[in-house]
Every structure is written in C-alpha cells, then in structure tokens.
Amino acid sequence: MPENPPDFPKSRLSRCVAPVSGRLNRAGALGVFAGLLWLPQAGLVAWLFAGLLDGTAGSQRAALAAAGFAALGALRAAMLALSDRWLAEAAQSVLTGERRHLLEREGRRSPMAPGPGSAELAALAGEKLAALEPYILRYRPAFLRARALPLAILAVAFWKSWVVAAILLIAGPLIPVFMALVGMAAQEASERQMREVGTLNGMLLERLQALVDIRLLDAGARVAADFETRAESLRERTMAVLRVAFLSSTVLELFSALGVALVAVYVGFALLGTLGFGAWATPLTAGEGVFLLLLAPEFFQPLRDLAAAWHDRAAAMAVAGELAAAEAEAPVTILGQGAAVAAVKPAPGAPAISLRNVQVALGEQTRLDFPDFDIFAGESCALTGPSGQGKSTLLAALAGLVPAQGRIEVAGGVLDDARADGWRMAVGWVPQQPHFSAGSLRANLRLAAPEAGEAEIARALRLARAEDIVARLPRGLATRVGETGAGLSGGEARRLMVARAALGQARVVLADEPTANLDAETARAVTDGLLALAAAGATLVVATHDPALVARMGREIPLGGAA
Amino acid sequence: MRPLARIFALIWRTERWSLLRGIALSIVVLLMGVSLLGLSGWFIIAAGAAGLAGAGAIFNVFGPSAGVRFLALGRTAARYGERLLTHDATLKALAALRVRLLTGFAAAPFPVMQRFRGAQVLNRLTSDIDALDGVALRLVIPLLAGGATLALAWGMLALLVDPRVAAWSVLSLTVGAALALAWSARRSARPSRRAEAAAQAFRTRAIDHLRGRAMLAFAGQLESSATHVLQADARGRASRLALARIERRSGAMISVAATLSAAGALYLGAELTRAGAMSPALAALGFFATLALAEAVGPLRRAMGELGGMRDAARRVTHWLPQDRAEPRGRGAPLAGAALRVIDLSIANGPDSPGLTKGLTFTLAPGEIVAVTGASGAGKTTLLNTIAGLLPPRAGEIRLSERPLADWSEPGLRAHLGYLPQRAALIGGTIAENLRLAAPDASPDRLETVLEAVALGPVIEAMGGLEARLGEGGRGLSGGESRRLALARTLLRRPALLLLDEPTEGLDRATARSVLAGLRAYCPEATILLAAHRAVERDWAARELPLDGSAGCGT
C-alpha cells in the first residue's frame, strides 16, 4: 500500500473501522440525540424554580416537573445503553477481523526468514489490538457528540443571552487548540510505550524459558534486577503517557470549570440588576438563569469526554501504526496455504526431487547457492557439508518452507504455491529443533494422522525405536509435553519426531541432523528406523555431518565448498 | 475474595502514603464538584430572589462568586494531583509485584521449572498483573472515596438544606448504586472469568501456532490451527459481549438512580419551599448538589465489570508469590579443581518416576576427566542433574570437596559447579548479554578469550562481534554454534567441577576436537564429568563410567 508515511497509521485506523462505520454512525447519532434530551430536562427544572421564586408554582407543577425530569432521564439512559450496545458489537467485530487477518499473514511467514518473535506477535494480536476497543467505544462517539452537542447548546444559549453564548464560545474553541497540541505529544509517548510492552513481554518469555540455565549460572538475582529495571522503565513510560493524558483533560476541566463559574457569576449579577446587558429585550429572569446554568456544564461535557478519550485515540493510532508497519514489508512466505489436500506422491523410479540453478536468499546478506542434482523416488541420500553451508535451508526449500530462485521440481512438477500443499502432505519432517505444541504427546504424534489408532501409534514408535521413551514417561502417551519438548532429552525429542513422520506415512522424509543428539547405539537404531521407512518405498533425504549416517545412505550430495 | 485482599494488602504495604493521599484528594475533588454546582445554583436563585425583592444592591455577591472561582480552580488542581498519585503508586506496586513473581518462578523446584510452558507463565506475569491494576485504582479507591463523599455530603446537606432532602439524596443514590453494583458483581463473575481464560487461551494458541507453523504446514493443518486460535477469540468475543451487556445495564441502573435522586431532591425542595420550610435558593442548593453527587458512584461501574477477572488473576498470582525465606550466603574459599565423591547413589527423574540407577559409587580426583556412557535413557542426564543439585537423590550421598552437596549454599554451589545441560537455552539480545548472564562484570577481552576457547571467535567476528544481536531463543546461530556459545557461558566462571551433557552435540568431528582441546586449555585444573556418546568425547576423557542401569560401577 504506497501511502505517505505520516498518513500511515491514520489511514490504517480508518481501514480498521471501515467495515463497521455504518453502525458506528448510527450509534453516534443516537448518542447525540440522547444528549439533546438534557435541554427539555433543564427547561423543566428552570420552569419549576421560576414558579417557586414568584410563588406561582403549585404542587401540580412540582410533581409534573420532577416526574418529567425523571422520565426524560430514564429515556436518556435507555438510549445511551442502546448506543453502547451497537458500539460494543462493532468493536468486537473489528477485533475479530483484525486478529484473523494478522494470524493468516504471520502464519504463512517462512520459518527460516527473519521476522518478529512469536511472543511479540501474540502480544500484538492480543492485548495490543485490544487498544482498538476503547477507541471505538469511547473516542468515536465522543468525537461525534463533541461536533454536534456544543453547537446545539450554544444556539439555545444564544437565544436566551448573548453574553452567556459569548462566554461559552470563548472558552470552547480554545479547547481544540490545546487539545491538538496535547494530543500530538500523547501519541508519541504512547507509541513509545507500546513498543516497550512488546519488548518487555518478549524479554520475559525468554528469561522464563531459560530459567534452568539462569539457576545454574546463579543469575536469578541479576535477571530479576535486570527485569526490574525494564519494568521500571515501562512504568516511567506509562506515566509519561498518563501525565500527558491527564494534563490534556486538566486543561479542559480548567476551561470548563471557569466557563461554568463565569456563567454562574454573570447570571447572578444580571439577576441582581448590577449588569444590565447581555440578554435580549427584557432583563434575564431567574428561570432563564437556572436554565443557562444547567446548560453550561453540558456544553463542556462532550469536549471533556473527547479529551478523556484522546489517549484512546493515541493508543489506537499507535497500534494502527504497528499494523501498518508489519504489513509494509512483504513477508517471505512459505509456498502454498498449509491446507490439507491430497498428497502429491512421487512416482516410483522417476525423480522425486530435482534442482536446477537454485538459490535461496534469506534477508539481504545471506544468499546461498546450491548445486544441481536429482534424487529419485525410493533413494536415500545425505546432504553433507561443513556447518553453515545451508543444509537446513536447502531442506526447508525442498519442503516449500522458503521460496527459492531457480527451479525445484518435486514429484514431476515445479514446486510452486499450487503444488506445495500436496507435496508437503507426502513429506515427513524431522527438524533440528523439535517443537511440541500444547497438549498430550499422543496429540502431537497424531498431528499428521488424526485418525491413527493406538496400534498404529505403537507401530510407528517401534519403527523409530521410541517405545522406551513413552514407557518411561509417567503418564505415557497422555503426558503433556512442554513447548520445546521440555522433560524429554534432545535425543528423545528427535526420535519422537521420526515416529511422527512414520505415523504420517510419509512418502518422502526430510531429516535435519537426525542423529545429532544420540549415542552411537541409538543413532544406529534411528537410522534403522529411517531406513525402514525408505525400505517401505519412501524417499529419504538427510542433512548431516555424521559419517556413520552418511555411510548408510545410498548416496552423498556434498554442498558448499566450490559448488 | 481473599487473594484480592492479599493483593491489595501488598499494594497498600508498598505505597501506603501515596494511596492515602490519593484517596484524600479524591474526596476533595468530589466534594468540591458538589459544592461548585450547589453554590452556583444557590447563588443564582438567591440573586434572583434579591433582584425581585429590589434588594440587589445589598446582596453580598463577592463571597459566593469568589467561592465559585476557588472551587472551579481547586477542583481541577486536586483532580490532576489525585490521578498522578494513584496511578503512579499503583504502577510502582505492580512493578514490584512482577519482580516478586519472577523470583517466585525462579525458586520453583527443577521438575516444575522444566515443565513450565513459557507462554503460560508469561500470561500469568503480564496479563494477570495488568488485570490487577484496577484493584486499587478502580475498586478500592473509588469505593472508599465515594463512600466518604456520600457520608460527608449527607452531613453538609442536612446542615445547610434540610435533613429530609439530605437523607433522600444520599440514600437513594447509595441504595441504587449498591443494588446495581451487587447485581453486576454477581452476574459478571462468570463471563469475566471466561473472557480472561479465552484471552489466555488465545495467546497460548497464537504462540503455539506461530512457533509450530512449519510442523503444521506438513500436517496440512496450518489453516485449521489458525481456526483453532480464532475459536479462542470467538469464545472471548462472546464473553466480552456478555460483560459489556452487564456493564451497560448496571450503568443504566446507576444513571436512573441518579436521575431519580435528583428528581426527588427537586420535588422535595419544591414542596418544602411551598410549605415555607426553606427558601427557593436552598432548594436549588439541594437539587444541584444532588446532581453533582452522582459522580461519587459512577466510576465504580467499571470496577464491577472487571471484578471477576481481577479475582481470578489475584488467585493465580498469589499462588506463585514466594514465601520469604533466608538463603545461606557465602561462597567459601575458591577451589581450583574439586574432588567429587558419589556414594551408593540411587537416582530418579522425580518422586513419581521409576528409579533409573541404584547403588552408584565412584570418585573423581581433582582435575580428572571422566565420561559417563550408556544408551539413551540409561540416566546419564538424570545423574548430572542430581549431581548439579537440581534433583534430590533417591538414596545415597554426593560430596563435593568432601562436603555433602546438601550443605552447600545455592550461590556457593553455583560458583564452583558449572553445568552445561542438554538443552541449554540462549536468550535474545547480544552475544555479550548472553555471556554476561554468567559473569556480569566480564571484560570484552575475557569474553573474546572464552569464545576463542570454544572455536567461536571467527564466527562471532563475522557476525559483527560481541554486540551482534541474536533473535528469539538465540536464533541466528546454527545448532552447533548455539551449543558452543552455551558452553562458553558455562566456562566463563572457570568452575572447579564441570558437568557437561553431550558438549559437542551438533558439531563435526574436527570442530568437536578443537572445542574439547580449547575447553581443557581454558579450565586446565577443573574436574570434568561429561555425559558422552560420541567417540570423540569418549576419547577425550581419561576413563569411562558405563551406566548400564544395573548397580555398582567403577572405581
């Protein structure tokens, strides 16, 4: 979206609320109408006090005025509640839409590409996006009321007394000027604060995941102190935002309080006859005085509401800015949608994978070239080379997890968006750093084969030589595994990944350093498992520098060096 | 309610004076608002009466008009001060609470710590504490200040206007507000708990979805997983809408109570004036003051909507707050190489786990390098965890420098015992920050030396030196490089006893050999016990200690 940078957050924010703008305007109009009901309420009160002063008020007028005041007040409350309801619904639908949008985009970001951390993204999708809620609930209706209500009240006041109208007019318009100044400062401060919230969460998440290391290094007190410093800095930033917000509403309250005071003083003097000007033909009556006094606070109230909601706007603006920034750079995405489709299986005897002039760019500095080669279906081969030559990146490219230049063909067709999903359904992936999602070990194993029964799971575990791991876990397959498989050793986690590939009946297995964590005996067992998959017809590609593993593969494809 | 009270007690203890001043200022603000409108109304009607009576010239206008201006300015200033004080005090107290909580997590026993799911713990720490900011700001302070204001206003109105008007105004408002608040507190407990739970679930699932997206893509479940995440949000949305409805209704109830209260004050004042019991000006004072008094109960509305969530958050947070206890300090004399003696040791992963090895007895002389060998699952890692003091031995004894492990203070033990666990975690930040976790005051030279020792010097150099930044969880380094950086971090303290769990995992043979040689050169006198399965590691050790799951091995 090529827009001017200063406009960025603003236009992004209006894009956020565009789908619900109709409902927002209706709610705003109802709020304005409810506000106007104050005029007849004030009129009734003034009418009663005028009668009390000149002695013309009977018990009927008292009852009528009080009952009318109460009835109009109840109607006003009901209308505001209805308006709030529309606003709440609109806010929730905006939140839901934005969250979906963000997850869909970030979920397809290539795992190999640099990008914001998961915790930071979750913070953006969660509590940061929630900042749009007060903007919609409070700022938008306050903005509409501030545009309409003061003008209406000013007109009615002018009809009764031009001096009162002049007082309101002078105190009123100064307010937007102050607020514009204050608002600009508030937005900047609140942008800083939002950034800090994201980093603080990311930092904390990492410290917590490293708690064991921190204990071993006796760094607990230091980490706590370090965190305290960060938390303190967050508090200072929050206070900076609040101070500006409070200042803006204080300026406003000052003007509105002085406005009300001036109206009261002017009306008082006019009634005493000290000031003979200001009203039209006849001198101001006491009833009119009461009416004007009741109008004065309501003239300022919408402006005060707007000021109170100003930092809601600033916070929403900051979030919109972050959304716009996240969308500005096109993410390096995986190929395909990651949807469940029919598997694209390589035909026996034909090349399962072939590479021609392939290059992968990760960020600006890292650019990796790979040699041309073909891997035939049913073959087992090792991609070898010293650390840092891009073995893992190549495996990811073969799986369509990172886009590559040049030509990668899989199962007889070019690996592109259309083909990637089906291809991956045929691939079993054994990553270097296993990730376990929340839930039981059973659920994790069945990810690629949701219908698999206990017997099939047992078979897959046996194939990967991983039965003993499950037998040792206190709750077996029902054990809840941690985020990165905490509680399991590195070797155990890897073997469970091989079991998962076996359970998914993968036709092609891509394994990144499958023997790296294992002792010779277990490494041999896992290699046996991988080769058992290969013997059943699966194509096997491992990235490794383990000579024992290389020796057992059908072929070695060296990467790097001169290639 | 007890956890909520405990949280407030904590906030109160840290920031008592700021909070007291905040409450006092808050009462001042409310009373000045009531006085401002009441005085203005009285002034206008009194002036009107004087004008009608032709007594305008002798009416004292300066007192009331000065009063109106004073109240207008004073209220504004008091409001600003009150907001700053209470917000600052709350945020300070919450920051302190966060740190206490982190300390509580860090003191958890190893098996618990190991199973922490980072995202969940993070949820507790951030959103729970954020949810607690309302305890003082929106619950206790408005409740106390509003109650005090209503009581004081009753007295003032009874004295100045009429006891009946005073009673009606204050009681109708109090009863109406109390009913609305009690109703909403009861009704909102469940949806607010659900909204909170859904928000937590959304966050956990979102992190899971984003971290595990590669695995999900292979299962063809990237889309269905995104749907799963969004389902949490949809549940949250339903609860948030239910909460908004309750808040809206209780708000409407309070508004109606305020309107009825003002209408009643108007009617009572009018009737009393007609009966000659008071002047129209005092009736105006009563009515306008009642109108302004609604501000004393309005702010509680939001607190009630949040009550359920606050209660929940308080319960979880207090569960993790550490109990104060004294840790033995002192590090003891520095040791060059420590002797390790293990006597008749039985080990297990936890109290409920099956025992792994029994009757293990061996000794390591100072400076010796010994490799623990055995198949995966034989208990190599558990043995190291037990010697490192992370797991209690099931039976038997461990002595470090002839002193039983149990007698070592935690800092003392960590100063002499370095342990590279199997899954050492790196943190986002610079290389130097990662290393300085172990030695905060280490000079850049010292850091570079240790990086050279693990053959990382050229790699880090190419990345831009010590200040090069790593991503989340140390991303930006290959598996082998992360391993070596974690090793460097362990070596930096030059421990007397080094426990290494597969130190060269993920390294090619040549690199592994040079890392082990560099390690020995860096800590020439350290006693080293390593869990090994690679030939290169076994060859490096002076002897092997086979763990075969049966009893009694070696020396």
DSSP for B3-56 reads: HHHHHHHHHHHHHHHHHHHHHHHHHHHHHHHHHHHHHHHHHHHHHHHHHHTT-G
Q: Are residues A356 and A323 in the same domain?
A: no
CATH for the stretch B340-546: 3.40.50.300
More confident residue, A57 or A561: A57
Q: Do B472 and A264 touch (CB under 8 A)?
A: no
B530: number of CA atoms within 13 Å, CB side?
Answer: 27
pLDDT, tens only, A215-250: 888 888 888 888 888 878 878 887 887 787 788 778
Find, in chain B, the residue whose alpha carbon is nearest to that of A79.
Answer: B252
Q: Do A227 and B428 touch (CB under 8 A)?
A: no
d(CA A75, CA A70): 9
List where CATH 3.40.50.300 sits in chain B. 340-546
Mean pLDDT of A314-343: 83
Conformation bin of residue A485: beta by default, left when phi > 0, alpha when psi is -120 to 50: left
Task: Give the start-end residues of each E strand in B197-334.
Answer: none
Find, in chain A, the residue whose alpha carbon is nearest to that of B471.
Answer: A117
Mean pLDDT of A517-538: 77
**Positive or negative, the Cα torsion across A430, A431, A434, A440?**
negative
Q: Are residues A364 and A318 in the same domain?
A: no
The CATH number linked to A394 is 3.40.50.300
Residues 6+ apart with CB under 8 A from B304: B180, B181, B184, B185, B188, B247, B250
Q: Are residues A92 and A191 in the same domain?
A: yes
Q: CB count, 10 Å around CB of B202?
A: 25
Residue A76 contacts B, CB cutoff 8 Å:
yes
Mean pLDDT of A254-274: 85
Q: Are residues A399 and A492 in the same domain?
A: yes
Q: Does A519 reside within a domain?
A: yes
Among the partner-chain residues A69, A337, A425, the one whose CB lies closest to the CB of B262 is: A69
d(CA B362, CA B552): 9
Q: What is the pLDDT of residue B122?
A: 64
Share of chain A above pLDDT 90, in %: 23
Q: What is the pLDDT of residue A462?
A: 86
Question: Quick check: helix, strand or coil at residue B481?
Answer: helix
Among the partner-chain residues B52, B84, B206, the one whose CB lies closest to the CB of A53 is: B52
Find, in chain B, the residue whose alpha carbon is nearest to that of A107.
Answer: B210
Residue A558 contacts B, CB cutoff 8 Å:
no
Q: Are residues A276 and A411 in the same domain?
A: no
Q: Are residues A500 and A385 in the same domain?
A: yes
Q: Do B473 and A206 touch (CB under 8 A)?
A: yes
Q: Are residues A303 and A400 in the same domain?
A: no
Residue B230 contacts A, CB cutoff 8 Å:
yes
List where CATH 1.20.1560.10 sits in chain B. 2-320
Residue that terminates a domain, selected from A293, A313, A328: A328
Report B:383-402 residues touching A (Cβ under 8 A): 388, 390
Q: Do A73 and B262 touch (CB under 8 A)?
A: yes
| Token code pair at residue B488 | 């460097």
Question: Quick check: helix, strand or coil at residue A161?
Answer: strand
Helices (H) and strands (E) in chain A, counts: 20, 10
DSSP A59-123: HHHHHHHHHHHHHHHHHHHHHHHHHHHHHHHHHHHHHHHHHHHHHHHHHTB-TTS----HHHHHH
Q: Does A22 reside within a domain?
A: yes
Mean pLDDT of A169-198: 68
Residue B346 contacts A, CB cutoff 8 Å:
no
Residue A425 contacts B, CB cutoff 8 Å:
yes
Residues of chain A neighbouring B43 (CB-CB closer than 8 A) = 264-265, 268
Q: What is the pLDDT of residue B550?
A: 45
Our count of domains for chain A comes to 2
Q: Are residues A44 and A156 in the same domain?
A: yes
Q: CB count, 10 Å around CB of B510?
A: 12
Residue A235 contacts B, CB cutoff 8 Å:
yes
- DSSP label of A129: G
d(CA B29, CA A306): 20
Q: Does A344 reside within a domain?
A: no
d(CA A314, CA B518): 55
Residue A511 contacts B, CB cutoff 8 Å:
no
Q: Are residues A289 and A373 in the same domain?
A: no
B47-50 CB contacts, 8 Å cutoff, 24+ apart: B47/A267, B47/A268, B47/A269, B47/A271, B47/A272, B47/A289, B48/A53, B48/A271, B48/A285, B48/A286, B48/A289, B49/A53, B49/A286, B49/B279, B49/B280, B49/B281, B50/A271, B50/A272
Q: Are residues A457 and A534 in the same domain?
A: yes
Find, in chain A, the residue whose alpha carbon is nearest to that of B29.
Answer: A253
Q: Does A345 reside within a domain?
A: no
Q: CB count, 10 Å around CB of A367?
A: 12
Backbone angles phi, psi at B265, to 5 degrees: -60, -40
Q: What is the pLDDT of residue B485?
A: 93
Closest CA to A400 of A354, A329, A338: A338
Q: Does A358 reside within a domain?
A: yes
Which range marks the domain in which residue A53 is found?
A: 5-328
Backbone angles phi, psi at A553, to 5 degrees: -85, 160
Residue A122 contacts B, CB cutoff 8 Å:
yes
Among the partner-chain residues B95, B121, B283, the one whose CB lies closest to the CB of A232 is: B95
Residue B229 contacts A, CB cutoff 8 Å:
yes
Q: What is the pLDDT of residue A563?
A: 38
Mean pLDDT of A172-201: 66
**Positive or negative, the Cα torsion across A514, A519, A524, A529?**
negative
Q: What is the pLDDT of residue B377?
A: 67
- Using alpha carbons, list the distances in angstroms from residue B98 to A120, A174, B102, B214: 19, 42, 6, 33
CATH for the stretch B2-320: 1.20.1560.10
pLDDT, tens only, A433-490: 777 887 888 988 888 788 888 899 998 888 877 887 887 776 788 887 765 555 676 6
The CATH number linked to A81 is 1.20.1560.10
Residues of chain B neighbouring A507 (CB-CB closer than 8 A) = none
Each residue's pLDDT expressed in tens, for chain B with a length of 555 residues: 678 888 888 888 888 888 899 999 999 999 999 999 999 999 999 988 888 777 666 777 788 888 988 998 999 899 899 989 988 888 888 888 878 877 877 777 777 776 665 556 666 667 777 778 888 888 888 999 999 999 999 999 999 999 999 999 999 999 999 998 888 888 887 888 888 889 888 988 898 898 888 888 888 888 888 999 999 999 999 999 998 999 899 889 999 999 999 999 999 999 999 998 889 999 999 999 999 998 898 887 777 767 777 888 888 888 777 665 444 444 455 565 678 899 988 888 776 666 778 888 999 998 899 999 887 667 888 899 999 988 888 888 899 888 888 888 888 888 889 999 887 888 878 899 889 888 888 899 999 999 999 998 888 888 888 888 887 767 777 777 888 999 999 999 889 999 999 888 777 788 889 999 999 999 988 999 999 878 888 899 999 988 875 433 433
Q: What is the pLDDT of residue A90?
A: 95
Q: Are residues A324 and A356 in the same domain?
A: no
**Positive or negative, the Cα torsion across B134, B140, B141, B143?**
positive
Q: Do B68 and A264 touch (CB under 8 A)?
A: yes
To the nearest whole Å, the CA of B376 is away from the closest chain A CA by 6
Average pLDDT value over all residues in chain A: 83
Buried b (16+ CB within 10 A) or exposed e, A168-198: bbebbeebeebbeebbebbbebbbebbebbb
Q: Which of B215, B435, B505, B547 to mutate to test the interface with A (most CBs of A within 10 A)?
A: B215
Among the partner-chain residues A45, A338, A469, the one whose CB lies closest to the CB of B220 is: A338
Report B:192-211 residues touching A (Cβ under 8 A): 199, 202-211
Q: What is the pLDDT of residue B552?
A: 39
Q: Are residues A29 and A173 in the same domain?
A: yes
